[in-house]
Amino acid sequence: MRYDRAYHALLRREGNVTIVTFPDLPECNTFGDDEGDALISAREALGLALRLRLKDREDLPPARFDGGIEVSPPVFDTLKLAVILAFTDSGIRKTELAHRIGKVETEARRILDPMHHTELPLLEAALAALGKHAVVTLRDTAQAARLPAPPGSLCLKPGS
């Protein structure tokens, strides 16, 4: 299983703020004073929207939109989502996950709760118990992927 969730965001200026929308996640919108602030908010909003989808037992949509700016959720959200999806794919029960990581079932339930904060070592232990490991990729934010916007949208350039 390869899990790398990045969605494409559209940015537009309205008055004194920059608005961010995600065509693949219509419920996910945010804003900032400028493009940099809006993109920071976009990462947080994206992570929350994806965790809320799992909390509500909804599937995560594929990232199909090919315009705008590519935005990834924060690393914590990405790892949390990866654990939940790997667990779902595994077919094991929460008691079995708890046994594999040497914890009680209530701890396994917390790990699998998209809204509960879990420490990084425990997320890594859960991934290992599910036969997975995380790989982090770093990118220069100044070279973030900028894709062509659909007709009628505005994509701002850095520093705009």
Q: Which domains are delineated in the chain?
A: 7-72+143-147 (3.30.160.250), 75-129 (no CATH)
pLDDT of residue 137: 79
Global pTM reads 0.83
Q: What is the pLDDT at residue 116?
A: 97
Q: Which among 77, 73, 78 has a CA at the least distance from the CA of 116? A: 77
pLDDT < 70: residue spans in the chain? 1-4, 140-160
